[in-house]
Amino acid sequence: MKIGEAAAQIGVAAHALRHWEDEGVVVPGRAPSGHRDYSDEQLSRCRIVRSCQGVGMSLAEIRAVLHRGEEGRAAVIAARLSAIRAQRTSLDSAEKFLLHVRECRHDLMTRCPECSEYAG
């Protein structure tokens, strides 16, 4: 599949696919004419790249995760898992706070121990 078709199918601009190639994240094959030729496998990899970007991963992190032999792969995965866990904790705390605020009967949040606890 040519780059324009692949870009449309993935939902990115063609220049993004060229950049991913330059960064060694997804490297398409070449047609006899020299044009980039994306296989089904490479399109699947592109979809994974988009998903990884959606959770804040950089191309360097994504390359490390996608390429099993990449040096530092385990450390990248461990760091990303740690960041996700910290984010989850923060989101859980924010949810708990907002659920409380929705029902809070204090006229000022600063007068409510539960509301003030969130700020601490």
pLDDT one-digit tens code per residue, 37-87 = 999 999 999 999 999 999 889 999 999 999 888 899 999 999 999 999 999
Residue (of 10, 101, 88) closest to 55 by Cα position: 88
Alpha carbon distance, N-terminus to C-terminus of the chain? 54
Q: What's the mean pLDDT in 76-100?
A: 93
Mean pLDDT taken over the chain:
92
The class (CATH top level) of 3-66 is: mainly alpha
Determine the residue type at 119: A
